[in-house]
Structure 1
Amino acid sequence: MQVLVMKKKLLNYLMHHARQPISSATLIKHFPEKLSLLLEELSEDHSLEITQDTVIYYPEPPLSIPNLTNQLQNKWPMITIDHQAILSSTNTVLKQMIQSKEITSEHPYLLIADKQTNGRGRLGRQFVSDIYNGLYLSLYIPFNVSSHELPAFTLIAAAALTQTIEKLTGFEIGIKWVNDLYFNQKKIAGILTETTLDLETNQINGIIIGTGVNLSAFPEQIPVDLQHKMGALFEPGHESITREELITNYLNHLSSLLNDPSKAYYPIYCKHSFVLGKEISFQKNGKTITGQAVKIMEDGRLLVTLPDLSTITLLAGEISLQSY
Structure 2
Amino acid sequence: MSTKEKILARLKANEDVLSGEALAQELGVSRTAIWKAIKELEKKGYQIQHTATGYRYQPSDILDAKEIQAGVQQAIDISVQETSTSTMKDAQLAVMDGKKSPLLIVADMQEAPRGRFNRPFFAAKQQGIYMSMLLEPKEQLQELPQYTILMAVAVAEAIDELLGVDTQIKWVNDIYLNQKKIVGILSEAMTDIETNSLKYVIIGMGINFSIPQENYPEELQEKATSLFPDGKATITRNQLIINIWNRFFDLLTDQTTYLGTYRKKSFVLGKKVTFKRKDHTYVGTAAAITDTGELVVDLGEEKMILSSGEISLSSIQ
Structure-1-length-normalised TM-score: 0.77
Q: Aligned letter for 2:296?
A: L
1:143, distance to aligned residue in structure 2 (A) = 1.9
Query: 1:240 deviation in Å?
Result: 1.4
Tell me which residue corresponds to 1:89.
Answer: 86
**2:227 counterpart residue number:** 233
State the match for 1:142 in structure 2. Answer: 136
Unpaired segments of 5 or more residues in structure 1? 1-48
Which position in structure 1 is the counterpart of 2:13?
none
Match of 2:260 among 247, 267, 291: 267
Provide the C-alpha distance between the structure 2 equivalents of 1:200 and 1:81, rounded to a whole number of angstroms: 29
The yes-or-no answer on 1:125 pairing with 2:122 is no
Q: Give the CA deviation at 1:127.
A: 2.3
Gaps of 5+ in 2: 1-37, 48-59
- Name the SS for the 1:216 alignment partner: coil
Distance (whole Å) between structure 1 residues aligned to residue 240 and residue 125 of structure 2: 17
Question: Runs of 4+ in structure 1 displaced over 6 angstroms?
Answer: none
Higher alpha-carbon deviation: 60-69 or 274-283: 60-69
1:87 match: secondary structure:
coil
Conserved? CA contact 2:107–2:131, under 8 Å? yes
Q: Distance in 2 between matches of 1:273 and 1:322?
A: 12
RMSD (CA atoms): 2.0
2:179 paired with 1:185: yes
1:278 and 2:271 are equivalent in the alignment: yes
Counterparts of 1:110 and 1:322 in 2: how far apart (Å)? 34
The one-letter code matched in structure 2 to 1:291 is G
Indicate the SS of the match to 2:66.
helix
Identity of aligned residues (%): 35
Measure how far apart 1:158 and its partner are.
Answer: 0.4
Q: CA deviation at 1:211?
A: 1.7
Deviation at 1:253, TM superposition (A): 0.6
Residue 94 (structure 2) pairs with residue 101 (structure 1): no
> What is the rounded CA distance, in whole Å, between the counterparts of 1:58 and 1:315 in structure 2?
45
Residues of 1 paired with 2:314 and 2:279: CA distance? Answer: 15
Query: Is the contact made by 2:151 and 2:248 (CA closer than 8 Å) also made in structure 1?
Result: yes
Closer, same or farther: CA 173–58 of 1 in aligned 2, 3 Å: farther
Counterpart for residue 287 of structure 2: 294
Report SS of the residue matched to 1:247: helix
Residues 68-97 of structure 1, C-alpha deviation per residue, up to 9 Å, x if partnerless? Answer: 21211x3x12x1110001001101111122
Q: State the shift of 1:56 in Å.
A: 5.7
Q: Deviations over 1:226-270 (max 9, x none)?
A: 222011111344211111110111101100101114x21011111
How far, CA to CA, are the matches of 1:85 and 1:131 in structure 2? 9
Report the TM-score, using the length of structure 2 for normalisation. Answer: 0.78
Which structure 2 residues correspond to residues 221-260 of structure 1 after superposition, within 5 A?
A: 221-260=215-254
Compared with structure 1, are the counterparts of its residues 319 and 131 closer, same or farther at alpha carbon in structure 2 (3 Å cutoff)? farther
Q: In structure 2, give the amino acid aligned to 1:275.
A: V
Q: For residues 133 and 316 of structure 2, what CA distance do their matches in structure 1 show?
A: 34
Q: Which residue of 1 aligns with 2:305?
A: 313
Please name the residue that 2:105 is paired with: 111
Cα separation, partners in 2 of 1:61 and 1:185, compared to 1, 3 Å? closer
Residue matched to 1:7 = none
2-structure distance, mates of 1:61, 1:184: 24
Change (3 A) 1:58 1:185: farther
- The answer to whether the 8 Å contact 1:188/1:231 transfers is yes
Alignment: residue pair count? 265
CA–CA separation in structure 2 for the residues paired with 1:131 and 1:210: 17
Shift of 1:322: 4.0
The equivalent position to 1:158 in structure 2, one of 122, 139, 152, is 152
Greater mean alpha carbon deviation, residues 271-280 or residues 134-143: 134-143
The answer on whether the counterparts of 2:211 and 2:231 sit within 8 Å (CA) in structure 1 is no
Change in Cα spacing, 1:181 to 1:322, as seen in structure 2 (3 Å) is closer
